[in-house]
Structure 1
Amino acid sequence: MSEKPEKKPRKEITKRKVLNAAKELFIQQGVESVNMHQIALTAKVGQASLYRQYNKLSDICADIVREECQVLIDDTQYYLSNTNENLSSLDKLYQVIIKFVSYLEFRVDWICEVTRASTNYRPIQSPLYQWMRKICTELLLEAVEKGEIIDVDVPFTVEAILGTLNNVDEQLLHQGYTIKRILEGIENIYFNGLRKSTN
């Protein structure tokens, strides 16, 4: 006799309903137009059940960002673990940034807004940017140790790069920039200027 599949705990089911409903509303209306009451109605859960899971909207946003960006994180970690050892740390970092920008491109109409809202709009402090800050810092420090780049203030440079990446939606949707233009600009400003001259 086959075993019955294990039932998910009610708390987990409620959380999934809330996240699915919130994501649907964010895509349709934008984060700023959505409130906790709407999410509870769309998810078909009681207000008390919702608040047992999440105290505020930014907490929901943070969980959505974590879930949505896990594919990017996994892909990046696989790339860094399996990349050519002869590739410079700076080149690895640029490839990570290409992955980051390309990933956002297809979600740019909503994921950037959700990312900012996940920290009550404190700039570049969401789970996604905390992770990206760690990757950028590690690879730039590695580049310094290997003598690949000029002497540079690594923390400041990382924050400058993240500040640019934080506005990808503005650049794509409102400035009319292409992904190619954004990536070339990042390469020219932050990468070509850092490389040590081979002369």
Structure 2
Amino acid sequence: MCPERDPSKIPRDELNRRRILKSAKELFIENGVENVNMHQIAKTAGVGQASLYRRYSDKGDICLEIAYEEYQSLFDEVQGFLDKNSEMGPLDRLYQIIVRYVSFLEAKVPWLCDISRASTGHRPMQSPLCQWMRKESSILLNEAVEREEVSDIDVSYTIEALLVLLHNVDYHLLDEGFTTKRVVDGLQRIFIEGLKAQKR
């Protein structure tokens, strides 16, 4: 493990960035993203509003940076899994990614889902998490097609349908009261078992 960097040697701009993100995250978790404004973030972080606006033009920019930092642990975990399990079938690998995706969001709902939506305005399917999942799913589904492990499918549309369901995981877990197992099992039936080519 690398030793912690001496705070006195960290540039002021970087210290301000860390304070802003930490304070914003705490405020979002406590009050909800919609109920927090830039003035509150600056005050809680102990930075001037001018300093805040020099780095972030609006709350969406802060949300985007928090989202990237939060998602990185999922990205790293999945990459480690893929590196160690290249011999596993592509659909099985996709299923394992879906399980990790849902479990990751379950631990952070609803605040991280709200941050993701706020960071991308009215284009939720372009969030960093959705873009990453779109890329990983495309690689694996195209591999499954090449191996003739799936029936004739429209890969791009199938991925977009999967993303719509994953994007609403917080709604399914909190508002509908579905368990994580129910969500994951349903996704497996539709997007894994449902795509497999029928043996003749």
Q: Which secondary structure state, in structure 2, belongs to the residue aligned with residue 193 of structure 1?
A: helix
Match for residue 156 of structure 1? 157
Q: How far apart in 2 are the matches of 1:10 and 1:100?
A: 35
Instruction: Tell me the TM-score normalised to structure 1 length.
Output: 0.94
Q: Which secondary structure state, in structure 1, belongs to the residue aligned with residue 198 of structure 2?
A: coil
Q: How far apart in 1 are the matches of 2:36 and 2:110?
A: 15
Q: What is the one-letter code of the residue matched to 1:102? A: S
1:14-51 CA-to-partner distances (Å, cap 9, x unmatched) read 11011001000000011111111110011110001001
Q: What is the one-letter code of the residue matched to 1:19? A: L
Q: How far apart in 1 are the matches of 2:124 and 2:45?
A: 29
Match for residue 77 of structure 2? 75
Q: How far apart in 2 are the matches of 1:140 and 1:178?
A: 26
Q: How far apart in 2 are the matches of 1:57 and 1:133?
A: 25
Gaps of 5+ in 1: none
Name which of 45, 48, 51 aligns with 1:46: 48
Q: What is the one-letter code of the residue matched to 1:103? A: F
Q: What is the one-letter code of the residue matched to 2:29? A: I
Q: What is the one-letter code of the residue matched to 1:190? A: F
Shift of 1:197: 1.1
Superposition map of 1:78-93 within 5 A:
78-83=80-85, 85=87, 87-93=88-94
Name which of 34, 37, 44 aligns with 2:36: 34
Query: Does 2:168 correspond to 1:181?
Result: no
Q: How far apart in 2 are the matches of 1:60 and 1:115?
A: 11
Match for residue 127 of structure 1? 128
- 25-34 or 185-194, which moves further after superposition? 185-194
Shift of 1:116: 1.0
Shift of 1:109: 2.3
Q: How far apart in 2 are the matches of 1:121 and 1:78?
A: 32
Shift of 1:84: 5.1
Q: Which secondary structure state, in structure 1, belongs to the residue aligned with residue 124 of structure 2?
A: coil
Shift of 1:191: 1.7
Q: What is the one-letter code of the residue matched to 2:19? A: K
1:85-118 CA-to-partner distances (Å, cap 9, x unmatched) read 0x21011001000001011111112111111111
Q: What is the one-letter code of the residue matched to 2:132? A: W
Q: Which secondary structure state, in structure 1, belongs to the residue aligned with residue 187 of structure 2?
A: helix
**Structure with a larger share of its residues in helix:** 2
- 165-174 or 121-130, which moves further after superposition? 121-130
Shift of 1:123: 2.0
Q: How far apart in 1 are the matches of 2:133 and 2:14?
A: 28
Q: What is the one-letter code of the residue matched to 1:128? A: L
Name which of 59, 65, 68 aligns with 1:66: 68
Q: How far apart in 2 are the matches of 1:35 and 1:62?
A: 15
Q: How far apart in 2 are the matches of 1:57 and 1:159?
A: 27
Shift of 1:13: 0.8
Q: How many residues align?
A: 195
Give the CA RMSD over aligned residues: 1.3
